Amino acid sequence: ETELARFASMQKMHKEMPTQVLNSAEVEEYIDWKDNQCDYQKQQNCVDFYLQQGADKLTLVMASQARLTARYNTIRQAKNYIEMMPPLITSPFPKYQLLMKATELERIEAISDISEGRVEQGVTRLAENAAFSRNLLRESNTLVSHMVAVAMMQRDTRILSELMTKYPKIATKYSAQLMPMFETVSTAEYNLEKSFKNERDMSLQVMSNLKYATAKDVSNNSSLIKNTLIS
């Protein structure tokens, strides 16, 4: 709502108003757990990486991330999801790294469930997590969120592949639940059209604002130059 109000103001003032500076005391920090998180570039098998840590350590990791998991569940339970990003150069991007960590926690939970015999629960968790990744890709309105969604889907698919290799019966017994994860994303609803339109709109907005700029606005020290053309 704040960004939409800034966009409406820009339409009248022909300049982007400053973004609201967050009070550091109000910004919630999340406990870092990077040492316990699989590096998809370096590890040959992320399922084995997590299982080798042991159930006790994974339980501690999940407990330390309870607040992040709760936030993620709130997002997933929303009745509708639409990414609203007005074409403002100065718009702050969400912390997508936290979203990626939240989805990884769900994969860990799914791996733990399946390895400990709660197979149906684990498969359901994995499938629902993957469905969110697809929904993010489908509704993506920026290049950044599109890339984030693709990265999340790659991880979903890799974990599923590793789980099916380790527990082959999953592929046959739960094929109906897992098949949506294999559906193509080459259809129009998943393409980059909306993201490219957003990039185009931002560029056009910058050039449009320049028509109303004064000599002072476009001086070497002006925020207009730094926040638009250079960006």
Residue 25: enclosing H or E segment and its boundaries? none
How do the pLDDT tens digits run along the chain, 231 residues long? Answer: 888 888 888 878 777 777 766 665 555 666 678 888 999 999 999 999 999 999 999 998 899 899 899 999 999 888 877 777 787 777 777 788 889 999 999 999 999 999 999 999 999 999 999 999 999 999 888 888 999 999 999 999 999 999 999 999 999 999 999 999 999 888 888 888 888 887 887 777 767 666 666 655 555 444 544 455 544
CA distance 77 to 55: 28
| Residue 82 neighbours by CB under 8 Å, 6+ apart | 139
Degrees to nearest 5, angle at CA 186 with 192 and 92: 30
**Three-class secondary structure of residue 173 per DSSP:** helix
What single-letter DSSP state applies at residue 78? Answer: -
Residue with tokens 């098998």: 45
DSSP state, 229?
I
pTM above 0.85, yes or no: no
The vertex-35 CA angle with 34 and 37, nearest 5°, equals: 60
